[in-house]
Amino acid sequence: MNRAKTAIEKLLAEADIRINGNRPWDVNVHDERFYRAVLRGGSLAFGESYMAGWWDSEAVDELIYRIFVHGLMSKIRFTPANVALYLGTLTRNVGRKSKAFEIGEKHYDSGNDLFERMLDKRLTYTCGYWRNAKDLNEAQEAKLDLVCWKLGLTSGQAVLDVGCGWGSFAKFAAEKYNAHVTGVTVSKEQVELGRELCRGLPVEFRLQDYRDITGNFDHIVSLGMFEHVGYKNYREYFCAMRDHLKDGGLFLLHTIGSNTSGTHTDPWISKYIFPNGMLPSIAQIGKAIEKKFIMEDWHNFGTDYDKTLMAWFKNFDSRWPEIASTYGNTFYRMWKFYLLSCAGSFRARHNELWQIVLSKHGVPGGYESVR
């Protein structure tokens, strides 16, 4: 145990993190099993030991920021959990059609009561656009409007929303632009609540995998869904989008991105938050769209996800007493670690947020970028 403790203390010291220190980002250990577990289990054990209450930090977001900035995760990445996940994604297609609904059941069906308390008034579960926004509601409205501007959306146009959530974009586009929106999601809870929220509007919800979509549309949007596709299916995904996009239309892809090409996500995130997910790289997207789409615009505003996640955590934390009896303390610690660790990751520029505008044949005269 002493050797494990010494190794962890030495590793954290590289990022100016102290064990049982008095600064917000320091780690306060309550259970000595923490050291050996993290040394053997890496990021999976780090998250699980937090869920179990073996350690705390006043500022988990700042702790994770320092860990990523100083590259500590890369020094303990060859753990059994990481190796098993890596080998699994090489031998299996975790994004295959038979697995498509698992993310809906595991994450998005967690409970509408949870997301209603955490998100903005429109239930927008993707990064906000904070350039001129004063709060979360304004940031999400600005993001939705930005998407519509980038598409050049006009009254009466038909839009396909792949991974539509509870219909935040669909409702916004129908109300503000008189668009006709078809939303596709793999979450039963999202379909049920989305239909209620969009009642009376030209919005259709389908409980459907993207490979089963039918119809042709003036434009396509996909906000925060591509992270669930999997690298083995990128080409198939873009082929499907091209098949359903009318000539002259635009496809806007909004996705979290990785600075490096990989085949899997963090093992803790995979196990507890987003099963079968992974983040694409620029190279992986570029290869997948080759000869299928022309890239008209690529917009990175990943630092805005830090602000979005911190706003989500503030909402979640302040309203937790309303749902605590339903979810329990372990869930609270899991969700807190999820939101704050992701905020720290974006703050460190370990992850990015991209909006990519694609066309089938190129916009005549060129596309005018919107910011």
Residues 253, 184 share a domain: yes
Residues 123, 11 share a domain: no
Which residues are within 8 A (CB) of 199 and not within 5 positions of it... i.e. 6 or more apart?
A: none
Given its phi and psi angles, is residue 47 left (phi above 0), alpha (psi -120 to 50 degrees) or beta? alpha
Which residues are within 8 A (CB) of 1 and not within 5 positions of it... i.e. 6 or more apart?
A: 32, 35, 36
| Structural domain count, the chain | 2
* pLDDT for 8 beyond 60: yes
Residues 234, 118 share a domain: yes
pLDDT, position 2:
86
Of 78, 108, 143, which residue constitutes the final position of a domain? 78
Residues 271, 180 share a domain: yes
CATH classification of the domain holding 150: 3.40.50.150
Which domain range does residue 175 map to? 100-300+350-359
Q: Please indicate, yes or no, if residue 343 is contained in any of the structural domains.
A: no
Work out the average pLDDT over 8-26. 96
The per-residue pLDDT for range 41-61, each reduced to its tens digit, is 999 999 999 999 999 999 999
Residues 62, 6 share a domain: yes
Q: Please indicate, yes or no, if residue 37 is contained in any of the structural domains.
A: yes
Residues 143, 23 share a domain: no
Q: What confidence tier does 109 reach under pLDDT thresholds 50, 70, 90?
A: low
pLDDT, position 92:
63
Q: Please indicate, yes or no, if residue 321 is contained in any of the structural domains.
A: no
The pairing of beta strand 55-56 with beta strand 28-29: antiparallel
Residues 51, 126 share a domain: no
Residues 274, 235 share a domain: yes
Residues 124, 272 share a domain: yes
Q: Please indicate, yes or no, if residue 176 is contained in any of the structural domains.
A: yes
Residues 174, 27 share a domain: no
The per-residue pLDDT for range 145-186, each reduced to its tens digit, is 999 999 999 999 999 999 999 999 999 999 999 999 999 999
DSSP secondary structure string, 202-264?
SEEEEE--GGG--S-EEEEEEES-GGGT-GGGHHHHHHHHHHHEEEEEEEEEEEEEESS--S-
Q: How many CA atoms lie within 13 A of 173 on its CB side?
A: 34
198 among known catalytic residues: no
pLDDT > 70 in the chain, percent: 92
The pTM (predicted TM-score) of the whole model is 0.93
Q: What confidence tier does 125 reach under pLDDT thresholds 50, 70, 90?
A: very high
pLDDT, position 223:
98
Taking CA atoms, 145 is separated from 68, 196, 363, in Å, by 32, 22, 21
pLDDT, position 276:
84
pLDDT, position 351:
96
Residues 144, 70 share a domain: no
